[in-house]
Each structure stands twice: as structure tokens, then as C-alpha cells.
């Protein structure tokens, strides 16, 4: 049975709400996680920090050589130059082909400038608990995207494909097409059921505290880490609920106990 369908069929049995508008984010038991909770932000990583070398790789982007597209790019740059002497120098020394060759060197830096944060559709995922929550020692955060629509704008599902193919980028006629690069992964990663959020910069992005609905702590979490989480919750998020999983973490047998808050 398809795992998403199974989740929808069974979710009424769970105290944790799933499906839209809820999304989940796994975090390891370290100081970065505690800092994110304490200060109410999510860290948006650069693409080189992702665990799949093919993920969002600019090597799969080919800048268009279409003559009409090159002319559009040339005209856009030329029209944007207001200083007369600079414009004259540009028109005398730069052709559409030369400009395109220069633009090709900027594709990789452009792709690398985006910040990426990863979420998933539900918390009953054994592999995610192992990989992204340090073998059940970390946490899983539940967010309600409707309570911070601006922050979660353009949160989109990753599409899993047999192979990552080279794509032609038309920077003028299809300026947003390059973003598609960030939402394609090979099928071997399909177990993640990933939802991805992009920001125009790398680093900290604050979310509204009301968007955080619950924290699910792994069954192998250390008591000291749990205590640190609880201190932050009571100080920063008194209205949320905190659960701890009971092994095993499976869609067919997902159990957790409430340790803070009310259902």
C-alpha cells in the first residue's frame, strides 16, 4: 500500500495531526538544533551541504544559445545601463554571444546563492529518524504552514525522477525555470517524501513561534538533551505539545507518549 495513502487512512489513530497544513522537520541532538529552537529560526543551507551530490547541481544547467534569447538578454542589460559613456563602451565591446559566455560563468554562483531547508510530509519514517535525527536521538518539529504563510511561501514537494537531466535555461523568457533544479531528485531518495523551501540567501530565517505546533523527541534521546528541549519549550513555546516516540517508528505501528502539553 502506498505510504501516503496509508498515512491518510490511519492518521485519525494518532494524536499528532498530519497532512496539510502540517509539515515536519528532523533535527539532530546538537547545539545548532537548540539554538534554532531558542531563537526561533531555521537554518537555510547552501546546496553543497546537501547529502546528494546530484541535488541542485548547477552542472545540469545549460544556458540557452538561442539567438532570440541572446538578443533579449543583450537588450535587457543594455537598457539597464543609464550612464551614457558606460552604455557606449558596452555596445562597442560586448556582443550577445560574448555576453552569453560571460553569463555562463554566473550560473553556478547564482544556484549556490540560494538557501535550502528540507521538510517531510509525516514523522513516521524510520530512515529519517536514523539519518537526520541521529538514530532516534534527535527531534522532529511539526509546523503549521498556515500560521506563517510568508515564511512558508513556495514550500513545494520534491519530484523523484529516474535520472537528473540537463536543462536549458532561458534567463529572459523563462526566468523562474532554473528554480526547478532544486525540486528534482533521483528515485533512490523517494523514501524521504521531501518538501523543500528556498530562500534567496543562506543562513538564519526566523519563523513565527505560533507556527511550531509540536516537538517529537526520539526514543533514544539523552535525558540531558530532553531537559534542554523542555527548558526552551517552557520559556519560548508554552502552548505547544511535546511527545516522545516509542520504538519502532513505522506507519503501521507509530506510537508516542505525551510528555508536555495537552491534546
Taking only the tens of pLDDT, the chain with its 263 residues reads: 344 444 444 444 566 787 789 999 999 999 999 999 999 999 999 988 888 888 888 888 777 778 887 787 777 777 777 777 777 877 887 787 777 777 777 778 888 888 999 999 988 888 999 999 999 999 999 999 999 999 999 899 999 999 988 878 777 777 666 777 889 999 999 999 999 999 989 999 999 999 999 999 999 999 999 999 999 999 999 889 999 988 766 665 677 888 888 76
Looking at residue 4, its pLDDT comes to: 47
Model pLDDT, residue 182 = 87
Q: Is 124 exposed, middle or buried (0-12, 13-18, 19+ CB in 10 A)?
A: buried
Predicted TM-score (pTM) of the model is: 0.81
User: 215 near 142, Cβ under 8 Å?
Assistant: yes
Q: What single DSSP character describes residue 158?
A: P
Q: Tell me, what's the pLDDT at 256?
A: 80
The alpha carbon of 30 is separated from its chain's Cα centroid by a whole number of angstroms, namely: 20
Q: What is the pLDDT of residue 217?
A: 95
d(CA 97, CA 72): 12
Identify the pLDDT of residue 1: 39
**DSSP tag of 254:** -
Residue 28 vs residues 53, 115, 155, 241: alpha-carbon distances, Å: 21, 19, 22, 19
Using CA atoms in the order 187, 161, 203, 206, what is the torsion angle rounded to 10 degrees? Answer: -90
In the chain, where do the E strands start and end?
22-27, 41-44, 61-63, 115-120, 139-144, 156-157, 159-161, 167-169, 184-186, 194-199, 203-206, 212-217, 241-246, 255-260
| CB distance 209 to 169 below 8 Å | no
Amino acid at each position: 500500500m502506498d505510504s501516503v495513502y496509508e498515512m491518510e487512512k490511519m492518521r485519525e489513530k494518532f494524536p499528532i495531526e498530519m497532512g496539510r497544513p502540517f509539515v515536519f522537520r528532523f533535527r539532530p541532538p546538537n547545539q545548532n538544533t537548540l539554538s534554532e529552537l531558542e531563537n526561533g529560526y531555521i537554518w537555510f543551507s547552501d546546496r553543497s551541504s546537501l547529502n546528494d551530490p546530484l541535488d541542485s547541481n548547477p552542472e545540469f544547467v545549460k544556458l540557452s544559445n538561442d539567438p532570440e534569447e541572446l538578443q533579449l538578454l543583450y537588450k535587457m542589460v543594455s537598457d539597464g545601463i543609464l550612464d551614457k559613456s558606460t552604455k557606449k563602451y558596452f555596445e562597442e565591446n560586448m556582443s550577445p554571444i560574448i555576453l552569453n559566455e560571460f553569463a555562463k560563468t554566473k550560473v553556478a554562483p547564482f544556484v549556490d546563492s540560494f538557501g535550502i531547508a528540507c521538510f517531510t510530509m509525516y514523522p513516521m519514517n524510520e530512515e529519517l529518524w536514523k539519518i537526520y535525527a541521529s538514530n532516534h536521538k534527535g527531534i522532529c518539529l511539526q509546523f503549521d504552514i498556515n500560521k506563517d504563510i510568508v515564511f512558508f511561501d513556495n514550500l513545494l514537494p520534491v519530484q523523484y525522477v529516474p535520472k537528473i537531466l540537463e536543462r536549458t535555461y532561458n534567463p529572459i523568457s523563462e526566468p523562474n525555470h532554473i528554480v526547478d533544479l532544486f525540486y528534482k531528485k533521483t528515485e533512490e531518495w523517494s523514501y524521504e517524501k521531501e518538501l523543500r523551501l528556498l530562500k534567496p540567501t543562506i543562513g538564519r530565517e526566523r519563523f513565527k513561534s505560533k507556527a511550531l505546533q509540536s516537538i517529537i523527541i526520539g526514543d533514544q534521546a539523552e535525558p540531558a538533551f530532553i531537559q534542554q528541549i523542555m527548558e526552551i519549550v517552557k520559556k519560548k513555546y508554552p502552548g505547544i505539545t511535546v511527545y516522545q516516540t516509542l520504538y519502532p517508528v513505522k506507519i503501521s505501528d507509530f506510537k508516542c507518549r505525551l510528555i508536555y502539553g495537552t491534546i
